Structure 1
Amino acid sequence: MSTFRDETAGPSRLPSLLKAAGVGACAGAAAAYLLDPARGRARRARVRDKAAHATHEMRDGAAVLSRDLGNRGRGAGAELRYRIAGRSADDRVLSERVRAELGRHVSHPHAVRVSVHDHVVTLEGDLLAEEEEHARKAVRRIPGVKAVDARWIPHIDPSGVPTLQGRGRPREPVPELRQQRWSPTARFGAGLAAAYALTASRRLPGPLAWIVRAAGAAVAARALTNLPLRRLTGINAGRRAVDVAEAVEITAPPEAIWKLVSDYSVFAEVMPDVYEVRRSPDGGLSHWMIKGPAGVPIRFDATETKRDEGKEIAWKSTEGQLIAHTGSLRLVDRGRGRTRVQVRFTYNPVVGAAGHAIAKLLGADPGHKLRQDLARLKRHVERAQQRRETGRRGHPVAVGS
């Protein structure tokens, strides 16, 4: 009696076996991380704190989303009433509506005079020729406007027109999805659309499915982080993809701290990742050598953009540097011999904010390193201050001879 053996059973089960092996490996690594005899307790406490923080964040986010949805619902109802019942407005109200609408489409609205009689709008004055057609159509769409009598004078060259001087810019409404920061409702809707795209991509042919998945993943990342895609990817983000800001209060007067930070001499002493800092003879340029990935030294130049003696220094990397960034260090006198040191910098790592998130996940978090560096600066300055005070007390100055 022969037994039939399915030759395709082995290969067909390979993906599921690999998944099971991957899940098992991850579970084992997590267990080893959390149950470590030496550090497991602190790690479990940190995980609990992060879970509690995430729960609070989700609760607060749900409350913000609920309020935003309610406000937008009421706003949509008011817009509908305005479109339906707004046609019965008197000429005074209609004139104010026209003025408000012109401000969105005309760069110099003060140069246009508006008068309304029997729901007929008369427009006089001056405006740029490139704005005329758009502004006329916008006024015509206002509920209650029967006709538009455009008597204004369009100008191709405004150089000879006094009312068109100065730099003006129409305040045209920006579509929600083109804004830098999305509202909670837009993020929620975009997240739902991304989830639907990722789910529906399973039924699409191969190349199209990957395109839809990539688009869905990009929209999901945009909705989750509320950062523009150029800051997420680092493409065309300039020096700003990630913002890092920290502060520390030091028991020392501002002038004592300024002597150390104004020539950058203290940075190589308190920052382990800074090998060397040299200032150019004119003081406007500084040359840095810092510890890069895998310990490889990285050199870059930075130029000062602001120096307020005793208070603030600001700088930016010169063009063509590997990691473009800007930064500032500010001293705030808190009185009674105490100073608050505020440091802020923005930088564009590889793959932008996404690279920053990956680095943070792997332990290379610039915010955490900055806090450590400021703590070392605090210890360094306070010890130096104590030595100076001890020296003054131990060696009194002799009066006379």
Structure 2
Amino acid sequence: MSTYRDVSAGDGRSRLPIVLKSAGAGACAGAAAVYLLDPARGRARRARVRDQAAHATHEVRDGAGVLSRDLGNRGRGAGAALRYQVSGRSADDRVLTERVRAELGRHVSHPHAVHVTVEDHVVTLDGDLLAGEEERARKAVRRIPGVQSVVARWTPHLDPTGVPTLQGLGRPREPVPELLQQRWSPSARFMAGVAAAYALTAARRLPGPLSWVVRTAGVAVAARALTNLPLRRLTGINAGRRAVDVGEAVEIAAPPEAIWELVGDYSVFARVMPDVYEVRRSPDGELSHWMIKGPAGVPIRFDATETKRDEGKEIAWKSTEGQLIAHTGSLRLVDRGRGRTRVQVRLTYNPVVGAAGHAIARLLGADPGHKLRQDLARLKQHVEGEHRRRSAPRERPATVGA
């Protein structure tokens, strides 16, 4: 009997995770049903879900097409590179000259200062270059298919001072490995996603500490492949002011000068943006002091300095150092003619946890892009109302007849 109770207890413990999972799934299903079948807002919510599903379907279809084309192009490129290594050795001197010049552009900061001569597959290099680039450039030229030998007659210089051909800013255009680039290609994202999925699956069979390390790496690679953003922008660590980019535009039935009167001194922002409590400009106009609505309605104060002002056309600003949320922004007016103006606003900011925090905020309903569109709609309504009021003809007082 005691053995039976022990086995039953063991079975209960093994079944507990299944019961918890079932309860969680039931709770989620119930919450989804309440959300979608609400008598007041259910129809609008279901329509929004359908629209989002259709949008996601189009995105997946377009992404699959882009991935297919990218894989095909890379396959053809790999074949061409193989043919280049095999049959490239039979190239004539003219073709070799162009190949050498192209390769020097990747390894020399001032390639125009190097003169290339090719005769019977022997490359002669004259001119000037920096001493730190000499050995690397010589080895790169020697590796080109078809080059038999390299004669370096150039003059290496420790410093560009006094050398006219080495003046100006120059930077060698060295090839950057795919996974170290800011933006990954569709093929790289696909392969990284497959590798991340395999790592997450294989981590189950690894010991505890190693499993957590592999899972963390897999999640990081999956997030990088899914968003195509560098990890520093995803996490917000060492990303400066640029972790999330938000841009919107609206066309307003008013000339640029009428809009500039309202936005040029920031006075309109507190009237059309519910989250902006107050905006004050300093007497010299260089600084602006803001008080906005923060999390849980707690006011947040910050200072911003103007980085650009083109009267009647554009304003740009950035938060001063040490602010809670580092950001930059710009507002541009584009005259569309016939008394209409396009207002373009772009914000770049670094929220808590970077782009990951931005995604969580969107999931919880606090989407900065959506809020910006609403603010621009309110700006449009306010400016057009003010413009109509100011341009309406005033009634003349009635005159008493003699």
Q: Distance in 2 between matches of 1:370 and 1:284?
A: 24
Match of residue 249 from structure 1: 251
Match of residue 140 from structure 1: 142
Match of residue 69 from structure 1: 71
Q: 2:340 aligns with which of 314, 338, 350?
A: 338
Match of residue 273 from structure 1: 275
1:228 aligns with 2:248: no
Q: Distance in 2 between matches of 1:191 and 1:92?
A: 43
Match of residue 165 from structure 1: 167
Match of residue 364 from structure 1: 366
1:315 aligns with 2:336: no
Does the residue aligned with 1:154 lie in a helix, a strand or coil?
A: strand
Per the TM alignment, residue 233 of structure 1 is displaced from its structure 2 partner at its CA by 0.6
Listed as ranges, the gaps of 5+ residues in structure 1 are none
Q: Could you tell me which amino acid in structure 2 is paired with residue 209 of structure 1?
A: S
Does the residue aligned with 1:394 lie in a helix, a strand or coil?
A: coil
Q: Could you tell me which amino acid in structure 2 is paired with residue 25 of structure 1?
A: A
TM-score normalised per structure 1 = 0.97
Map 1:52-67 → 2, pairs under 5 A: 52-67=54-69
Match of residue 4 from structure 1: 4
Q: Could you tell me which amino acid in structure 1 is paired with residue 99 of structure 2?
A: R
Does the residue aligned with 2:170 lie in a helix, a strand or coil?
A: coil
Does the residue aligned with 2:161 lie in a helix, a strand or coil?
A: helix
Per the TM alignment, residue 314 of structure 1 is displaced from its structure 2 partner at its CA by 0.5
Does the residue aligned with 2:390 lie in a helix, a strand or coil?
A: helix
Does the residue aligned with 1:343 lie in a helix, a strand or coil?
A: strand
How many residues matched? Answer: 397
Map 1:72-151 → 2, pairs under 5 A: 72-151=74-153
Q: Distance in 1 between matches of 2:396 and 2:132?
A: 78
The 1:389–1:129 alpha-carbon spacing in structure 2 relative to 1, beyond 3 Å, is same
TM-score normalised per structure 2 = 0.96
Match of residue 202 from structure 1: 204
Q: Could you tell me which amino acid in structure 2 is paired with residue 62 of structure 1?
A: A
Does the residue aligned with 2:4 lie in a helix, a strand or coil?
A: coil
Match of residue 381 from structure 1: 383
Q: Distance in 2 between matches of 1:316 and 1:218?
A: 30
Alpha-carbon displacement from aligned partner over 1:289-338 (angstroms, at most 9, x marks no partner)? 00000000000000001111111111000000000000011111111211
Match of residue 176 from structure 2: 174
Q: Distance in 2 between matches of 1:246 and 1:356?
A: 17
Q: Distance in 2 between matches of 1:107 and 1:151?
A: 18
Match of residue 219 from structure 2: 217
Percent of aligned pairs with the same amino acid: 85
- The CA RMSD over aligned residues, in Å, is 1.5
Q: Distance in 2 between matches of 1:166 and 1:384?
A: 52
Does the residue aligned with 1:306 lie in a helix, a strand or coil?
A: strand
Listed as ranges, the gaps of 5+ residues in structure 2 are none
Alpha-carbon displacement from aligned partner over 1:46-90 (angstroms, at most 9, x marks no partner)? 111111110111001000000000100001000000000001111
Match of residue 394 from structure 1: 395
Per the TM alignment, residue 22 of structure 1 is displaced from its structure 2 partner at its CA by 0.8
Does the residue aligned with 1:213 lie in a helix, a strand or coil?
A: helix
Q: Could you tell me which amino acid in structure 1 is paired with residue 394 of structure 2?
A: R
Q: Distance in 1 between matches of 2:195 and 2:290?
A: 46
Q: Could you tell me which amino acid in structure 2 is paired with residue 101 of structure 1?
A: E
Please, which moves more after superposition, 113-122 or 219-228?
A: 113-122
Q: Distance in 2 between matches of 1:158 and 1:192?
A: 48
Q: 1:190 aligns with which of 189, 192, 195?
A: 192
Q: Distance in 1 between matches of 2:304 and 2:366?
A: 23
The 1:80–1:113 alpha-carbon spacing in structure 2 relative to 1, beyond 3 Å, is same
Q: Distance in 2 between matches of 1:8 and 1:44?
A: 44
Match of residue 326 from structure 2: 324
Per the TM alignment, residue 393 of structure 1 is displaced from its structure 2 partner at its CA by 3.2
Q: Distance in 2 between matches of 1:235 and 1:222?
A: 14
Alpha-carbon displacement from aligned partner over 1:232-277 (angstroms, at most 9, x marks no partner)? 1101111011111111111111111111111111111111111111
